[in-house]
Amino acid sequence: MNIAFDSPKPVDYLSSLNERQRLAVEHGSGKVARPLLIIAGAGSGKTNTLAHRVVHLIVNGADPRRILLMTFSRRAAVEMTKRVERIASQVLGDRASVMTDGLTWAGTFHSVGARLLRDYALDIGLDPAFTIHDREDSADLMNLIRHELGLSKTESRFPAKQTCLSIYSRSVNAQAPLDEVLADDFPWCHNWVDELKKLFAAYVEAKQAQNVLDYDDLLLYWAELAKEAAFAEEIGSRFDHILVDEYQDTNRLQAAILLALKPDGSGVTVVGDDAQSIYAFRAADIRNILDFPKSFTPEAEVVTLDRNYRSTEPILAAANAVIAEAEERFTKDLWTERKSSAKPALVTVRDDTAQATYVCDAILAEREAGTRLKEQAVLFRTTHHSGSLEVELTRRNIPFVKFGGLKFLDSAHVKDVLATLRFAENPRDRVAGFRVLQLLPGVGPSFAGQVIDAMETALDPTMGLQALRAPQRVAEDWPGFVTLFDELRRKSSSWPSDLEHVRLWYEPHLERIHESAAARRGDLMQLEQIAAGYPSRERFLTDLTLDPPAASSDHAGPPHRDDDYLFLSTIHSAKGQEWKNVYVLNVVDGCIPACLGAGERKEIEEERRLLYVAMTRAKDSLHLMMPQRFYVENQVGRGDRHVYGLRSRFIPDHALQHFEQTTWPVAETKSGMGARSRASVDLRARMRGAWS
Ligand SMILES: Nc1ncnc2c1ncn2[C@@H]1O[C@H](COP(=O)(O)OP(=O)(O)OP(=O)(O)O)[C@@H](O)[C@H]1O
């Protein structure tokens, strides 16, 4: 089918782009393009450019169903598709939505992987009904096996389940041998290399027996599939264009997949900013983007976008000064035409309580002056850094939404409900089965294990369940569970009412097991709302496991759309976003960078980029906070759990000229604790004096 349009009107939709953006958008027009790398500095219009490129391809005849668009999160994919539709409607009018509806291959690497693996499951010995384990499920399964192999009872302590999973995951994603991973990243586990190998082998076997894949498998199986030339070619030939966003945060497996699908790079566009690579802890490899051009012959074309539209000149000058110290980078200094005389503020405060007070005061003052809360954000390195601030905000009735850290879907009651659905979807999924069965009063691990075994050996899992005689102590709740399972397994079960069935069944258990049942019930109602947006139970479970919403409001929209609320976010979750005013907490050594020791060179480099990402989120006003004394979690030794902070090493003396330095509170006040002069009473002398 030829779907080229008669008379594309390039001037209409490309005129808003600058020259470099336009170069990137029009690259290879009319023919299958050489690979393209767009190095897009912070705020340089990356999303805008990528969206225009997709529209441009479609307008020039590309079939949207043959475009593969891979983004870092599902939210980014949804936003990109909406933007494409908006731009396309300028050119195609009413036909735009038909075309953009055809963009069915837009999603994360993991979700695209899951979809392709279901398509090819039978060719590679997988059952297409596989379910997907999130990190917590994977850790639970790892733990189970660790226990079965007797490793949890070793004399010197064997690594904990999360550590085992991290080692396994890093080895898979970085495609690095176990020995190397242990030596580089987990040196304290090096003595356990043989046991770990045994554990991982058993873990892989268990996943296969239970027909589950974990996150890493989605990439690993896809990469292995793509190693077979025939499959690689077949999958590659499904797509004329492959576009990858946030390429700086891809790992080796993802790069291997991309290269296998398009070995000569034809039709491949990757976009990213090496200065914003912040996911090495998940095995992202900055070398992917640095080495991309040379992966092809002839080399990929590189277009650099360095004009920033977001931030004022003084903010950019400060951010440029921070990143200037980085070891290796593509990105040149960013520039802007947005003049301002206001330098970013570097604010010294006494401790995190004073920090919270200062930030709240500043936010309220800005709101008085007309800046809505939604246009302001507070960013921090790790989720517990905002504790004090959250108390202060709550005390003052300032509404906020927090991104990063514990997610809606991580809460126990939501996981209970999802596990029930997953167990119905795949009764061989033991982790889900153990969770669900033990919700019933009187069921422990041993009976749960018997039930799962009986279901597995039966001809049909439901029949296996029905044939079981439950012990007397479970008798009251057993029939209800069997009926629910039977309903959920029937072909006629309908979506999303399945979820309502589960909720109704679960409610009495919720009240028995958890405190604050009313609030939790609210979460479950919200889950039902989310479910309504998915065509099937399988899609719902897959998508939610792969890319959970960052906050409950992320998915269903904030409860009251018109409400004004402040954003609190980890720097990682602030990726890709922008606000008028940004406050960054704890810009002190020990927080940014997080490690107090010298640390590995590459880790320090990543922390520098994190600060850069935080600073470049600000449009008009930026505050970097420096509490002199801050609270630390997990402090070793006998510390009072507070340490004294020095200015972050990422703001060296010569960068200070780019900041307005202030100390708060400014002057000594009668009541202000923070301004009280130090050592006005020499208690030590008094103590000595007592004995003289
Ligand atoms: N050609 C342009 N003319 C005017 N404004 C533009 C142009 N291109 C982008 N912008 C604006 O610049 C801002 C940043 O754009 P966008 O969010 O796409 O940046 P980005 O490159 O994805 O940033 P980051 O990588 O830092 O997240 C947006 O407010 C956008 O509207």
Name which of 11-15, 138-142, 199-203, 453-457 the model is least confident about: 11-15
- Is the pLDDT at 669 greater than 50, yes or no? no
- pLDDT reported for residue 688: 67
Q: How many residues does the chain have?
A: 692
| CB of 48 shorter than 6 A to ligand 1 | yes
Mutational pocket test of ligand 1: of 48, 609, 610, the residue with most ligand atoms within 8 Å of the beta carbon: 48
Q: Does domain 19-114+219-305 have CATH number 3.30.420.40?
A: no
Q: State the distance from the centre of ligand 1 to the C-alpha of 250, rounded, in angstroms.
A: 22
Task: Considering only residues 537 and 637, tell me which one the structure prediction assigns the higher pLDDT.
Answer: 537
| CB of 41 shorter than 6 A to ligand 1 | no
Superfamily of domain 313-405+557-664: P-loop containing nucleotide triphosphate hydrolases (3.40.50.300)
Number of C-beta neighbours around residue 203 at 10 A: 21
- pLDDT reported for residue 423: 95
Residues 6+ apart with CB under 8 A from 151: 158, 195, 199
Average pLDDT, the chain: 85
Task: Considering only residues 60 and 556, tell me which one the structure prediction assigns the higher pLDDT.
Answer: 60
Q: Measured in whole angstroms, how far is the alpha carbon of residue 437 from the centre of its chain? A: 30
Mutational pocket test of ligand 1: of 18, 23, 47, 249, the residue with most ligand atoms within 8 Å of the beta carbon: 47
Question: Which among 99, 51, 106, 40 has a CA at the least distance from the CA of 74?
Answer: 106
Task: Considering only residues 232 and 535, tell me which one the structure prediction assigns the higher pLDDT.
Answer: 232
The Cα 221–Cα 206 span in angstroms is: 16
Average pLDDT value for residue range 239-247: 95
User: Averaging pLDDT over each range in 177-181, 519-523, 530-534, 672-676, which range is the top one?
Assistant: 177-181
Q: State the distance from the centre of ligand 1 to the C-alpha of 48, rounded, in angstroms.
A: 6
User: Averaging pLDDT over each range in 281-285, 394-398, 519-523, 580-584, which range is the top one?
Assistant: 580-584
**What dihedral do alpha carbons 276, 281, 284, 290 form, nearest 10°?**
50
High-pLDDT (> 90) share of the chain, %: 52
- Is the pLDDT at 359 greater than 90, yes or no? yes
Task: Tell me the two tokens of residue 394.
Answer: 């709550």
pLDDT tens-digit profile of 597-650?
A: 445 777 888 899 999 999 999 999 999 999 988 665 444 444 455 666 789 999
pLDDT tens-digit profile of 276-319?
A: 888 876 777 888 898 999 999 889 999 999 999 999 999 999 99
The ligand 1 atom at the shortest distance from the C-alpha of residue 47 is: 18
User: Averaging pLDDT over each range in 208-217, 274-283, 381-390, 515-524, which range is the top one?
Assistant: 208-217
> Spelled out in words, what is the top-level CATH class assigned to the domain 412-540?
mainly alpha
| CB of 555 shorter than 6 A to ligand 1 | no
- Kindly indicate the confidence band of residue 558, based on its pLDDT and cuts at 50, 70 and 90: very low
Question: Which among 550, 642, 637 has a CA at the least distance from the CA of 591?
Answer: 642
Name which of 39-48, 163-172, 312-321, 538-547 the model is least confident about: 538-547
DSSP string over 166-194:
HHHHHHHHTT--HHHHHHHH-GGGGGGHH
* 3 state SS of 42: coil
ipTM: 0.94
The Cα 238–Cα 276 span in angstroms is: 31
- Is the pLDDT at 582 greater than 90, yes or no? yes
- pLDDT reported for residue 675: 41
pLDDT tens-digit profile of 465-477?
A: 999 988 898 989 9
Task: Considering only residues 346 and 415, tell me which one the structure prediction assigns the higher pLDDT.
Answer: 346
- Kindly indicate the confidence band of residue 667, based on its pLDDT and cuts at 50, 70 and 90: low
- pLDDT reported for residue 690: 66
| 458 annotated as ligand-binding | no
- pLDDT reported for residue 596: 53
Question: Which among 502, 469, 505 has a CA at the least distance from the CA of 488?
Answer: 502
Q: State the distance from the centre of ligand 1 to the C-alpha of 231, rounded, in angstroms.
A: 38
- pLDDT reported for residue 455: 94
| CB of 248 shorter than 6 A to ligand 1 | no
- pLDDT reported for residue 93: 83
Give the N- to C-terminal CA distance of the chain in Å, as an integer: 101
* Cβ-contact 664, 354 below 8 angstroms: yes
Q: State the distance from the centre of ligand 1 to the C-alpha of 581, rounded, in angstroms.
A: 17
Say which amino acid occupies 580: K
pLDDT tens-digit profile of 419-478?
A: 999 999 999 999 999 999 999 988 888 899 999 999 999 989 999 999 998 889 898 999
- pLDDT reported for residue 553: 40
